[in-house]
Structures are given as C-alpha cells and as structure tokens.
Chains A and B, each alone.
Chain A
Amino acid sequence: MASRTIKVNYLARVEGESGLKVVVRDGKVRSAELSIFEPPRFFEALLRGRAFTEAPDITARICGICPVAYQMSAVHAMENALGVAVGGPLRELRRLLYCGEWIESHTLHIYMLHAPDFLGYAGAIDMAREHGDAVRRGLELKKAGNAIVACLGGREIHPINVRVGGFYRVPSRRDLAPLAEHLERARDLALDTVRWVAGFDFPDRARDYVFVALRHAREYPFNEGHIVSNRGLDIPASAYDAHFEESHVTRSTALHSQLRGGGSYLVGPLARYSLNFDRLSPLAQAAARDAGLGATCTNPYQSIVVRAVEVLYACDEALRVIAAYEPPDQPVAIVAPRAGTGQAATEAPRGLLYHSYRLEADGTIADARIVPPTSQNQPSIEADLASYIDGFLDLPDEALRHRCEQTVRNYDPCISCAAHFLRLDMDRG
C-alpha cells in the first residue's frame, strides 16, 4: 500500500488548540502524534510570589471548562501544607460542587462534543436538526449541573465562593431546595442519556491499559483518596513525584507524563469507573449493567457511556448531599500561614489533577507545580491512535481523519489545561 499521512491541523470539539498527525507506511501505522500548540500561559511561574489564598482563583483560570477541579486541588494542597482539616458539611458542600462540575462538563462532552462523532454530524447544532429532543435533553441536563455550581459557587465559570478552609458563604437548606427539584428531573434525564449512548455503534477496540485514579474507603472519588492503579499502585498524593515523571517533547507546549519506568497510563472516566465500580450508587451500577458495561471498561470508544453513568451518579450523589445537609456554624475553618509543602490530587471530569505547593512562612507561594489530566493522557492518546487506526486503514482519507479525531475525543482532552504544565526541576528545597 502506498504511504499515507493523515493530518488534522486544528482539532475541533476539544477545549483548546491541537492537531494530530498519523503516518502510515506499507499498511501499518508508523507513528501517531498529538501536537499541542496552545500558547503557554506560565501558571506555575506566575503563582510564585502570590499569597496562598490566591491559588484557587488564579488556578481556576487554567481551564474554563473545569475550574472547580483546579479550585479543589488547590485548596486541598494548601490545606495539606498548612495542616488544616476540613470535614463535616464543608466537605460535603465541596462534593456537591464537584457533582455540579461533573454533570456540566460530562454532559457538554457527551452531547455537544462526542455524540456528533457517533451519529455523523459536524457538531451539536447540526445534530439538533434531526435529534432536537436529544440535544434539548442534553442542554437541560447540563443546566442542572451549572445550577449547582452557580448556587454554591456564585457563577458557573470561575466560581467565586471557594477558599482555602471552606467557603465565603454557605447556603441554607432553603437555598438548596430548588436544586433538589431540578436534580430529580436531571436524574431521569441522566438515565435516559445512559440508554441513549448505550445504543451507539462502538468500534470493538480495547487495550490493556494501566488505569490510574483516586480510590476512597467509602465513596466514588472526587476530592479524597489514595492514588491507585490496576497494577497495584496505592499511594498518597504526597508520593506522586516518586512514581510519575514528566518530559517535554518538541511538538507540544504540554508536558507528557509517564509512570517512572512503566510507560503510559490512562486517567479519567474509564480508569475511575474500572477502579471504583463498587463505589457507585446502586442506581448507577444497575444503569451501567443495563447499558452492557461490566465492572471494568477497556474500550475507550465506550467512554461516552461511562461518562453518562458518572453523570447519573453525580445527580444521585448531589441529591444525597442536599437531603442530608445541615449548615455548618462557620463557612470556613481557621487557616494560619506557615512554611511547608502540600500536595493533593482530585478527580477532574477528565481525570486526576495534581497540585503541589511550597509555601514560605508568611504564606507566600515559593513553588507551584500542576499536572493536569490531559498531559497525563497524551501518551495514551497517541498509543491508542497507533494501535487502533491500523484496523481502519481501508477507510477513505476523510473518514479515516474523522475516526482519528473521534479516537482523540474519547479522552475529552482539555488542551487549554494541558498547555501550561511543566516540570519544575529546580528549587525543590
């Protein structure tokens, strides 16, 4: 077979700027590269010299799609550095806020970014002409997630109510009541969503992935838990650097993450689900079973189904938190600056998001390091392209290009996030 090069100069329906290049020789994929040309914004550098209290607001601006994830990883890392424990209703409210972001972000991806690949449209607006009811359902479901973030966070994008130690203002039970009503309906829509995407046509592809996600003793993971893998890894976030490393490749303003000595790994819905199926609510487990999923899922094209199951879980969990909520006496725990280091990982919709800070005695940030999910997944995305595309090579160029794009979109890659990350190999004092 002649040689072919499939290029996508600007990948659509992902957040941020990237392209990809697959080189085929003699009927085999020789190389697959995802290049990220999102301009660097240097967050780790500009955080130096700022007050520890500013990290949640500043790091939120890394990503307009998952600002809550950045705020959560930032506050937990700071609290670990400062020896502060946040429990009770404040902890529950953080879970509720994260539920809102998962619902919003996953639904955006399911309906507006990913479903058009399966149904053969350029985007959700085109899809709405023939699947109007589905798109409207998606918009209503997404709105329920945004309503949580707006109520608890003050607004949907870059919420203003999150601070180290808790919140500026906590809601009353009455504030949360309208959300519960909205979420009851959203839970039904989420169940419909699982059924809808389960009926899509999935290429039969799987790899033996190294899955990495948080795992908690009782809960499906959002904010807390050990970092675990399906290869026996089980570490606190403070041991992250001992097990993972980043490198800088020429085609990318994002850094690539690898397991030390162990190659690529996968974070995100597939990993979370496969490592935590037993922590899902009974409703979410039953819906997953009905959708044809097992307790693990290794077909990345089915990530859209796993996302739908996680949206259902998030609706369920949000309703549980609201039903049990009693407002705390204080909106924030007492936080005093001191010198120290702190790390935390939380589960952004796209996967594990790691923050590490070193603080001076007055709380000034001396060092910051952030590893977003997409830079962790980038080697895995390229490995998927290299190993799956072989089976699609009989497709004409345009269809093959589309299949490559879909393969990348399986990861819901957030390129804006990925592009500021770095390896900080100095001043580790």
Chain B
Amino acid sequence: MAANRKKPRLGVWKFASCDGCQLTLLDCEDDLLAVAGAVDIAYFPEATRAEISGRYDLSLVEGSITTPHDAERIHAIRRRSRKLITIGACATAGGIQALRNFADVQAYTSVVYARPDYIETLATSTAIADHVPVDFELRGCPISGRQLIEVIAAFLVGRRPVTPAHSVCVECKLRGTVCVMVAHGTPCLGPVTHAGCGAICPAYNRGCYGCYGPMESPNPVSLSHGLAALGMDARALQRVYRTFNANAPAFRDESARHGK
C-alpha cells in the first residue's frame, strides 16, 4: 500500500453526541481544503454522500456508546481502522449524557418519551476506550480546532501528537490572565482540568468549568477544599464535577465524595 503512495483514507464516525467535534473539522476554514487534499475522505456523512467501503487508515470517532447497536458498531469500526482516535468529551469520557450513569435510565426515559417502550438505550453512556483499544484521545467539549489539525498532521507523518497534559492554570499563565480564584474569589476547575482550550473562561472573567476533563494526576480533593472555602456546599461541589466529563474517573470519584 505504501509502495504507490496512496493517500491515507479518513473515516469520521458519530455515536451519541452533538456533532460539534466533527463540525470543528469543517470549522477549520483555513485548513480544510489542505486536509482534504492530504487524505481521501472515505466516510464522513456529515460532509459527503460519497462512501468508500473497505479499510480506513485513520478513524476519528465522535460520541459515546449508549445503545446495544452502537456497542457492536464500534467493534466493526475498530476492525476496519488502522488508527482510531477519539475526539471530544463524549468519546473520551461519555459526555453530558453520562449523567444517566448516576441515575435510573428508566426514569429518564419516561421523563422524556411518551412511549418508553419505543426507546432502546443502555443504562450507561461510556467512552469508546471502554469498548475497544484507542490509539489517541483528544479532549474537550468541544475539541480545539488547532489541536485537531495537530493530531491529523502528526498522524500523516507518523509521530505522536503534541497536546500538553498539564492543567488549564499553565495556559492562564501563558496567556497572562490573572488568576480568577486568587484575585476575585471565583470558583475555578482550572487546577485539575486538562489544558487545550487556551484557558478561555478565565480570560472572560469566569471560572473554568472543566469541559476538557481531568488533567493527568489531578488533585481534586485539595481543590474541593479551596472551593468549599469560597462558599460552595456539598451539592454545588458534586454538580461542578458532574458535567461534560462526569464519568471521567477523577471527576466521577471526586463528585461521589460529595453525595450519592
């Protein structure tokens, strides 16, 4: 295959999600045509009807596993993919829909649907890596376009993507943003949250709300002491870790310390 220098074949797959992470690729207005020139887009239904069957050199997977059918479908995609990269909080941690993992999914279904018997769903929303081996996970709700281009570029030359695993705090320092927690007493998840967004929220005078999920080796117990000192009660502390990455182990465990 390498002999005739065929362009690598790209597949973009969707599971339970809002489509925002796939859209991030179409939002890379300056780079989109260059990316499209470097790969063969073999499957990307949000963008094209064309479909090339067979194997994929790179599969980008958006969304979480929430139905029995999807739990099978991801295995078929894995088998046909040389490299499989998950994009976004749903695919890497189960997404906002993983709040069902802390509740009774039957009750959820009957709140939303008049005929719960028409709905087929799993009791949990889980990350792709809980089902199949994943070659790389790109964080964020949504992912960063800059990081997505880096991941694709790195794949094309066969190197590891450069996506720092430190906290959002480092990004605030790089950006020159004054610490909102220290200077204004604003609760902020920056100290435990994975970098990548560019520390947007503190630059807009609000605390980080953790949409990139936990950093490597976070210390949320310590942060929770600080947040409690700023006036957050147990219920607020539980909620602050239970949003878009609620099922990421570090956030899940910390939220459980503050209530069932």
Contact = CB atoms under 8 A, between A and B. Distances in A.
Given A51-B239, A126-B50, A422-B114, A41 B19 contact: no
Given A13-B48, A61-B18, A158 B211 contact: yes
Secondary structure at chain A's binding surface: helix, strand, loop or mixed?
Answer: loop
A250 interface: yes
A30 interface: no
Contacts of B23: 15, 64-65, 108, 157
Interface stretch (B24-32, B75-83, B129-137, B157-165): B24-32
Given A125-B47, A126-B48, A250-B118, A45 B111 contact: yes
Interface residues of B, number: 64
B204 A168 contact: yes
Contacts of B243: 54, 57-58
Interface string A10-49: 1111111100000000000000000000111111111010
Given A57-B243, A61-B18, A122 B96 contact: no
Interface stretch (B168-176, B195-203, B250-258): B195-203
A62 B18 contact: yes
A391 B78 CA distance: 43
Given A160-B201, A247-B114, A422-B112, A64 B18 contact: yes
Interface residues of A, number: 74
Interface string B90-107: 000001110110010101
Interface string A400-429: 001001000000000010001111111000
B204 A160 contact: yes
Interface stretch (A134-142, A176-184, A292-300): A134-142
A408 to B, nearest CB: 12
A260 interface: no
B112 A424 contact: yes
Contacts, number: 198
Contact of A50 (B21, B27, B111, B239): B239
A40 to B, nearest CB: 6
Contacts of B141: 61, 158
Interface string A247-281: 11110010100000000000000000000000000
B173 to A, nearest CB: 19
A58 B18 CA distance: 11
Given A64-B21, A169-B205, A416-B17, A424 B239 contact: no
A201 to B, nearest CB: 19
Contact of A160 (B33, B113, B206): B206
A163 B201 CA distance: 12
B96 A61 contact: yes
A185 interface: no
22 contacts: A11-B45, A41-B16, A41-B66, A41-B97, A43-B112, A46-B108, A61-B20, A63-B19, A63-B20, A64-B21, A64-B23, A64-B142, A125-B47, A154-B204, A248-B113, A248-B114, A249-B118, A250-B118, A422-B113, A422-B114, A424-B111, A425-B114
Q: Which 3 pairs of residues, A with B, have the shortest CB-CB distance?
A: A64-B20, A123-B48, A122-B50
Interface of B: 14-24, 26-27, 29-30, 32-33, 36, 41, 44-50, 66-67, 70, 95-97, 99-100, 103, 105, 107-109, 111-115, 118-119, 121, 125, 141-142, 145, 197, 200-201, 203-206, 209, 211, 236, 239, 243-244
